[in-house]
Chains A and B, each alone.
Chain A
Amino acid sequence: MFDQLLQFIISGITVGSVYALVGLGFTIIYNASDVVNFAQGEFVMIGAMSAIFLYGAGIPYPLALAAAVAITVVVGLMLEKFAVEPAKNASVVTTIIITIGASIFLRGAALLVWGKDIYGLPPFTKDVPISIGSATLLPQNIYVMLGTAVAVLLVRYFFDRTMTGKAIMACSCNRRAASLVGINVNRMLLIAYGVSALLGAVAGILVTPITYTSYDAGVMLGLKGFCAAILGGMGNSMGAVAGGLLLGIIESLGAGIISSGYKDAIAFVVILGVLFFRPGGLLGRADSERV
């Protein structure tokens, strides 16, 4: 029983790492531009799919991965430039529909380019399972966790220690004040989308050797990332990471113990429960409204 539990937790943390990265990407964009980007999951899909096809075209593995990340970042920048920036003063509903439109568009493009098949990536290094008791851990599981940890730390460093990161934070506090002190707000928004797309691509590349991917894999991932961000309290970046890991573990335990068919439903039941009893998210503060 204990070994089984351990196995569930291992796979939970692996999946949760992806949710954490997607949730983190969500939060970065939300903080910078007040937009909930429903196309976030598509970044994961595009990163993974580009890597698969570049590698399949004979490009050396590490180079293929790097190029895939670059492609995704370009997609993220274009999303900001052509879809979000022109609709600057739009309402919440409008921006939600715009990003959903973008996600449908990207999915349609992926369908055209790559078709409906399911693809996988080879693991980064040889697949020798490591056993802990009777639970097993693949080296790729470790890469996912390590990769996520590194990405999260780098993002923290970026926002806490670099001038650009601080400038983006300033935009999230007050865009007009930021522009008055000489921050190029549009450029900061662009960077935020780039960073967010980068995180999505990294998540996709890390996890695809384990979970495989297809043109429509982004939808659920995006929604789960949104769940993670809400669980942690919208706008709280480390909260989103914690929320993502938590969501992954709960889901994996639920799928193992209750029923795997209801795996996705469990995540949303948890979310509804949290929202009903703690409307500000687990780590969020109850906010007061200015009248």
Chain B
Amino acid sequence: MRRLGGLYILAFLFVITGLMFPDSYYVTVVGVTIFTNAVLAVSLNLLMGYAGQISLGHAAFFGLGAYSSAILTSRYGVNPWLAMLAGLALSGTVSWVLARPILKLKGHYLAMATLGMGIIIHIFFVQADWLTGGPDGLSGIPGITVFGWPVNTDLRWYWVFGVLMLFCIWVSLNIVDSRPGRALAAVHGSEVAAQMTGVDTASVKAQIFVVSALLASVAGSLFAHQQAFVSPESFSFFFSIELVTMVVLGGLASTFGAVFGAVLLSLLPEFLLVFEDFEVLIYGAILMAIMIFLPDGLFVTTSRLITERLRGGEAS
């Protein structure tokens, strides 16, 4: 109960919000964006927060899932669920092949390699217009049906993405508290020490890389159906950076921190819209300010403060 307590609270909030404000723009439209970003941030956090391996190319797997679904369903009329599986197979293969050589690297070299991977895949989306539609993207992607229930309104997408997010959080919480999760924590602490205690660090890192790619791929597939349109812009280097920022903003190695970061960074552009031309400038400034003043992340810093306050209260 204690381990999954946060999840239950979140699930409760999710249901209540959906029932109480079914027409609100912030719930249905922004909500879906938030959930998508939360899935991506939570999956990236498995790799970055728990295993301590930075990735500046996470958007690539999101894109692989999205494009697999988009191409297969819109061009070849494949069933969306089969297309999603195909996307999973593709992302799984790519991540599995790249995992070992990439995760062998450390620090800035790892950052460079993952960044390179993301950019190469993004350039492929832009250039292979015979397959991906090029910079203009692909449209006409059909919707999906969940057990005979057609997902055809914004509100229904809210439920679908929300459930996906909760599932993702559940997976993340369970991995963290399992044997592989402890192995990951050991790798994060010290790779050499982990090896000494018998952890096969290379394979643990590779496994978590694949898991995080698979989760991102599912989110990508659903994203393609929800938008009914994909273009390379959604999977660029900047989006990868945004995801990293969500994870760090919430505080590394905290599943709910990642969710929190996703919520905040998804809402930010909505509020910055009023600044129009100043939007980019302010966005950059906020990013810098948070990292400078709260290097441990907003969520972790605040929750630590609250815990201390509570403890202090009990003592007096």
Contacts and interface: CB of A to CB of B under 8 A. Distances in A.
A154 B107 CA distance: 30
A100 B287 contact: yes
A120 B17 CA distance: 53
B109 A279 contact: yes
Grouping DSSP codes into helix (H, G, I), strand (E, B) and loop, the A interface class, with mixed when no group exceeds half, is: helix
B288 A262 contact: no
Contacts of B241: 97, 100
Given A86-B292, A87-B292, A234 B109 contact: yes
Contacts of A262: 123, 127
Contacts of B282: 108
B113 interface: yes
Interface stretch (B114-122, B143-151, B171-179): B114-122
Contacts of A87: 291-292, 295
Contacts of A91: 295
Given A83-B288, A97-B245, A108-B279, A275 B112 contact: yes
B285 interface: yes
Chain B at the A interface: mostly helix, strand, loop or mixed?
helix
A272 B116 contact: yes
A120 to B, nearest CB: 24
B127, B284, B293 — most chain A CB neighbours (10 Å): B284
A97 B288 CA distance: 7
Contacts of B281: 105, 108-109, 111-112
B192 A265 contact: no
A36 B108 contact: yes
B278 interface: yes
B288 A102 contact: yes
Contact of B192 (A102, A234, A269, A289): A289
A163 interface: no
A93 B44 CA distance: 13
Contacts of A149: none
B112 A104 contact: no
Chain B CB within 10 Å — which of A101, A219, A259, A265 has the most? A101
Contacts of A150: none
B105 interface: yes
A217 to B, nearest CB: 15
A226 B280 CA distance: 23
Contacts of B280: 104-105, 107-108, 111
Contacts of A3: none
Given A101-B291, A275-B112, A264 B119 contact: yes
Contacts of B283: 104, 108
A79 to B, nearest CB: 10
B104 A223 contact: no
Contact of B116 (A83, A102, A268): A268
Interface string A218-234: 01000100110010001
Contacts of A106: 284
Interface in B245-302: 245, 248, 252, 277-288, 291-293, 295
A178 B291 CA distance: 27
Contacts of A269: 116, 120
A54 interface: no
Nearest to B115: A223
A185 to B, nearest CB: 19
Interface in A227-264: 227, 230, 234, 259, 261-262, 264
B168 interface: no
A148 interface: no
Contacts of A230: 108-109, 112
A94 interface: yes
Contact of A101 (B105, B108, B120, B288): B288
Closest 4 CB pairs of A and B: A105-B284, A108-B281, A108-B280, A101-B287
26 contacts: A93-B54, A96-B54, A97-B241, A98-B291, A100-B241, A101-B291, A105-B284, A108-B278, A108-B280, A108-B284, A111-B277, A112-B277, A219-B237, A223-B237, A226-B115, A234-B109, A265-B119, A265-B124, A271-B112, A271-B113, A272-B116, A275-B105, A275-B113, A279-B104, A279-B109, A289-B192
